[in-house]
Amino acid sequence: MYTSETRLRVRYAETDQMGVVYYANYFVWMEVARVEYCRSIGFSYQQMEVEDGVLLAVVDARCRYAHPARYDQEVIVATTVPDVHPRMIHFAYHMRSAADGRALASGETRHVFCGRDLKPSRLPAKYRRLFGLC
């Protein structure tokens, strides 16, 4: 299974009063990593939306926290696609410290492919090959 790795550095604005990354920011990191995953396999989100009218609507998002990330820490987000169908895709994310490999969090998002009208649609053939669907 292909894995894309995205490196991020924790910004001060992402931390809470306790000095750790605010929980919702992990979902932002997942989005950044998802966009980079698509770029790494040969297309951009923007291309898919503008040229083909295909949008990815989130229908489920989860995150499990293992260890707090802190300001200025470098984080690696490893992204995979464990499951994809012509109408839905599942991304999995594993976030770890770049310094020592310590697990920080893991998460997943599931998306339905939609048209500009936000009605479910099928993934165009040119993207199916990139995601491993034939």
Q: What is the distance between the alpha carbons of residues 32 and 37, in angstroms, rounded to a whole number?
A: 9
For the chain, the domains span 4-130
pLDDT in tens, 87-127: 999 999 999 999 999 999 999 999 999 999 999 999 999 99
Q: Which residues pair with 92 in a beta bridge?
A: 80, 108
Give the pLDDT of residue 134.
67
Best CATH choice for the domain 4-130 from the list 3.40.47.10, 3.40.50.2300, 3.10.20.30, 3.10.129.10:
3.10.129.10
φ, ψ (nearest 5 deg) of residue 100:
-130, 0
Distance CA 125, CA 31 (A): 24
- In the chain, % of residues over pLDDT 90: 90
As annotated, the active-site residues are: 16
Tokens 């984080």 locate to 75
Q: Which two tokens stand for residue 106?
A: 């893991």
